[in-house]
Amino acid sequence: MNDWEQFARTTQDTAKVAGAKPSAWQYLLIKATDNSLEIAVFVLTLIFTYIGLFIFDSTQLEKTNWALHAAELCLGVFLGLLKTNGKNK
């Protein structure tokens, strides 16, 4: 599903038979499902960043370093996923 117009056209074809109108919530749900991997990796980035910055105190430098490096790795994967998805569309 590339854009709203394609979604609306498909839903209008279905509406002729079933009587359903296109909904923005349905479109957002479809887009979130299409991009679920990117969303999951971004959430992991936020979680590791939060853990590294706020959970561990200054005495646990090794754990803080590990969490921030994990966040950095997740961010790299997230940006790579965004770059490849832009080329595929």
Q: For 39-81, what is each residue's pLDDT tens digit?
A: 999 999 999 999 999 999 889 999 999 999 999 999 999 999 9
Q: Helix or strand or coil: residue 88?
A: helix
The backbone torsions φ and ψ at residue 68, rounded to the nearest 5 degrees and listed phi first, read -70, -35
Rounded-to-integer distance, Cα 68 and Cα 56, Å: 11
Which pLDDT does position 20 carry in this prediction?
67
**pTM confidence score:** 0.73
